[in-house]
Amino acid sequence: MRLLFVCTGNTCRSPMAEAIARSLASARGLTDLQVASAGTSAWDGAPASDGALLVSMEHGLDLGTHRARQLAREAVASADLVLVMGPHHRDRVLALGGEGRTALLTDYAAASTAGRPVQDPFGGDLDLYRATFDELTREITQVLDRIAAEGAEGGTGHRPGGPPPT
Is 120 catalytic? The answer is: yes
Q: Is 84 helix (H, G, I), strand (E, B) or coil?
A: strand
> Cα separation of 58 and 136, whole Å?
15
Given strand 102-104, what is the order of strands in its sheet? 34-39, 2-7, 81-84, 102-104
Q: At what angle do helices 126-154 and 13-28 cross, to 10 degrees?
A: 50
Active-site residue, from 28, 120, 146, 159 = 120
Please report which helix (H) or strand (E) contains residue 158, including its range.
none
β-pair partners for 4 = 36, 82
Cα–Cα distances (Å) from 61 to 8, 65, 133, 140, in that order, read: 21, 11, 11, 15
Task: Return the amino acid letter for 68.
Answer: A
Please report which helix (H) or strand (E) contains residue 54, including its range.
helix 50-58
Active-site residue, from 13, 22, 69, 101 = 13
Active-site residue, from 7, 12, 22, 92 = 7
Residues tagged active-site: 7, 13, 120
